[in-house]
Structure 1
């Protein structure tokens, strides 16, 4: 049980509300590592990063229900790699778009559209991955 976080601790560390943690848990986006004898959910500290990535994916236009469906169809190791990669790609595109300045608004818009297409493609690839 050492190192595991209760819902309030996880929410605070991730910068979200307890209700958001509940919502993500109910959608199957995150999972408790274990429960206490009293029934409290305990989460791995790595869940903080996963919540951050989920929030990035949502901010990029991907519906949480679609993300949850992809999470359910992928193996844990594959999912971790894909989510980490998606998060890095979206952040790199966001940084590039922000640094483009007002003279490059068209380029920034193109990058935003491309990011959305990449996320959609990644979702399709996740659904095509073998289960297990």
Structure 2
């Protein structure tokens, strides 16, 4: 139990409310490491960084439900499979950008920037995830 944080401590360290911690837990975005003998949820300190990454993904326009779905979909996925999927998606985006007409170029550029931001946030999320 040493080093684990109660919900209030986690909320303070992450700069969010207890209610946000409850909400993220309900959505499955974060999970307590264990419960105290008194029944309090206890979180790994690395959850602070995970919350920061989730907030960056949300700020980039990704819905919390989508973040949760992606986290669940990635659970158990071999990293090489995830990278291969990402490469296929990037190639499709690149092909779209190359074949887009002049009117669609701004939209293709916007999508490319958004993809870049999401990939950056995903990398930060992976780095911040506690070891299981």
Provide TM-score, normalisation by structure 2.
Answer: 0.61
Superposed structure 1 runs of 4+ greater than 4 Å apart: 76-79
Higher-RCO chain (CA-CA 8 Å, sequence separation at least 6): 2
**Structure 1 unpaired stretches of 5+:** 83-109, 124-132
Which structure's CA Rg is the greater one? 2
2:50 matched to which residue of 1?
Answer: 50
Partner SS for 1:32: coil
Q: Where does 1:62-101 land on structure 2 (aligned, <5 Å)?
A: 62-75=62-75
* Alpha-carbon distance in 2 for matches of 1:78, 1:43: 25
Matched, 1:6 2:35: no
Change (3 A) 1:39 1:76: farther
* Alpha-carbon distance in 1 for matches of 2:18, 2:76: 24
Change (3 A) 1:39 1:78: farther
**Structure 2 unpaired stretches of 5+:** 83-108, 123-132
Matched, 1:37 2:41: no
Provide TM-score, normalisation by structure 1.
Answer: 0.61
CA RMSD of aligned residues (A): 2.9
Change (3 A) 1:35 1:113: same
Tell me if the contact between 1:4 and 1:44 (Cα under 8 Å) persists in the aligned partners: yes
Q: How many residues align?
A: 93
Matched, 1:117 2:97: no
